[in-house]
Amino acid sequence: MKNELDDLANINFEPIWNHDYSKYFRTVQYNGKVLSNEERKLAIVETDNTIAQYSSGLPLLRDMLEQSKDLHDEYHEVERVIVSLSLFTTMTAIDIMVANKFFLLADKDYDRRFMRGKLAVILNEGFKRLYGFNDTTRNKSEWNRLEPLMKYFPDIIKQQYLSLTGLLERHANSYSWWKNVRDTETHIDALSLYDSRQEEIIESKVIMESLMLFDTLLAVSQFLEEANKCLLNYLVDLFHRGQLKQE
């Protein structure tokens, strides 16, 4: 995302790519693999590096929202939704990685069962907020905020939006998204919570299931990058036509 247009004369138009988002929605089966100590250490190091990379962009997104909060022209209204959704997808992806990391680090049985449960809460609540499971949650979702803005974008973005909507809809209806686990973990019904946590822990299954939401967030983030290119191209076009002046 661009926070400042330091020199519009030197900014080129960004090409808009037509991505195949279906690759992010493919079902991947777990294989029961248990990581060795070395593999575990490597996975944690890679996770920490990715968390650092993702989190480094959060202050910029927050600053952009703060700077535009009192600007209510059409451009900034659209930009605010794009940036807000980018903040959501980035933070949720980071939360998944952190939960996965502490699941892998846990060396006590109860700790691992606890972390598995809390990861399920993130997966359920994350997808519910991103897209929703029914009309009520869908109308309150982050994705739903984009629909009225599509009139401002070119056909290539509109087509990608429709494609991703179909994939998200299929995702919403294909899984329970750990609703029972989420309810049990959130409401802390001791008997149900105990029974839920007694389910066998299969490490690779826990990690692979978390990718269902993580990969979905990657797809949405990629779409938002293309939408953001359109916003930047719009400003560059205005500048070259003399309708936008640098201050």
List Cα–Cα distances, 160 to 25, 78, 205, in angstroms: 14, 17, 31
Tell me, what's the pLDDT at 16? 92
In the chain, which stretches have pLDDT less than 70? 1-10, 239-247
Contact assessment for residue 139 and residue 147, using Cβ atoms and an 8 Å cutoff: no
Tell me, what's the pLDDT at 4? 45
Tell me, what's the pLDDT at 3? 41
Residues 69-128: tens digit of each pLDDT: 999 999 999 999 999 999 999 999 999 999 999 999 999 999 999 999 999 999 999 999
Give every CB contact of residue 219 below 8 A, 6+ residues apart in sequence: 21, 24, 25, 164, 167
Tell me, what's the pLDDT at 1? 39
Tell me, what's the pLDDT at 31? 79
